[in-house]
Structure 1
Amino acid sequence: MSFIIYLSGEIHSEWREEIKQGIKDLSLDVEVLSPVTDHDASDAAGDHLGEESVTFWRDHKSSKVNAIRTQNAIKKADLVVIRFGEKYKQWNAAFDAGYCAALGKPYITMHAKNIIHPLKEVDALALAWTQTPQEVVDILKYTLQPY
């Protein structure tokens, strides 16, 4: 059994690399998709469409260009992992969770205990809540076992 996963959310830590390494260490047949994780590049995704004097319109253009990648990756994925970090509010990750819910796409969340309450609606539709990349790898290992 093979799987495609999309790793959504926080871009300021190495959690994606840890999941990829766990997949590699277990030789799991998993293709990993992700958003653009270079913050500056993501913010500038729409800059080629013309300069904007109002920040709202620059962000608006870039979010739409980024959505081309994000929406296609979520649709292609068998499972979406959505990471909420400590340092920044990942509103885009919450939006990805809502998009998954609307599509009926399975997703799991990854976040610390101290933000359980603000994420209660997001977690309510998740198929699992994890706190570490290893827990995600363990779920993948179990899911892909040929029982």
Structure 2
Amino acid sequence: MPDIWSVYLSGEIHTNWRQEIAEGAAAKGLPVRFSAPVTDHPASDDCGVTILGAEDQKFWHDRKGAQLNAIRTSTLLKEADIVVVRFGDKYKQWNAAFDAGYAAALGKPLIINHGPDIVHPLKEVDAAALAVAETPAQIVEILDYVINGRLAGYTDQA
């Protein structure tokens, strides 16, 4: 077992779910290090053209950014002990679905997080996961159980 668990937090960037998980993990004293994609949406979109030069066509503008972001994402996914992917209800999150598939292909333990309203469209993604949680608090409880063998409400534990 790792001394410090690496947990990659992928997915939607419009709510504070990452912060909720980090705060919950800190409150429980969990030995975790969190990583994530760049969550500053404009910076993520424009990193390629800002660093490598402007593009006249949106396709090439987006491709440059996607490729630079892929360096970070693929490296952090490969290093992760656990991958958490959150799907929000606002936008179609193709990048989150891609990250979930990539993590599954790498054989990473995968926790999916989404509300009950999008169970059907995510059924294949959920099937690849080892856990599907509705809340960040559930993810913290999963991490506590997996890392420490602690289950809330039980006293005779590892």
TM range (shorter): over 0.9
Matched with 2:105 is 102
Residue 40 (structure 2) aligns with: 38
Letter in 2 for 1:4: S
3-state SS of the aligned residue for 1:45?
helix
Q: Secondary structure at the match of 1:31?
A: strand
TM-score (norm 1): 0.97
**Secondary structure, in 3 states, of the residue corresponding to 1:46?**
helix
Greater RCO between the two (CA within 8 Å, min separation 6)? Answer: 1
CA distance in 2, matches of 1:85, 1:115: 9
What SS does the corresponding residue of 1:118 show, helix, strand or coil? helix
How far is the alpha carbon of 1:89 from its aligned partner?
Answer: 0.9
Q: What whole-Å deviation, never above 9, does each CA across 1:52-92 have from its counterpart, x for those lacking one?
A: 11111111110000001000100010000000001111100
- Asked if 1:25 corresponds to 2:27, the answer is yes
> Which of 71, 78, 96 is the aligned partner of 2:81?
78
What is the alpha-carbon root mean square deviation over aligned residues? 0.9
Aligned residues: 147
User: 8 Å contact 1:2–1:144 — kept in the other structure?
Assistant: no
Q: Distance in 2 between matches of 1:45 and 1:93?
A: 19
Equivalent position amino acid for 2:81 in 1: D
TM-score by length of 2: 0.91
Query: Aligned runs of 1:107-146 on 2, under 5 Å?
Result: 107-145=110-148
Distance 1:7 1:92 in 2: 12
The match for 2:9 among 7, 10, 19 is 7
Residue 93 of structure 1: aligned partner:
96
Per-residue deviation, 1:144:
1.1
% of aligned pairs identical? Answer: 56
Moved over 4 A (4+): none
Which amino acid in 2 is paired with 1:16? Answer: R
| Alignment-mate amino acid for residue 29 of structure 2 | S
User: Which one-letter code corresponds to 2:78 in the other structure?
Assistant: K
Q: Which runs of 5+ in 2 are unaligned?
A: 150-157
- Listed as ranges, the gaps of 5+ residues in structure 1 are none
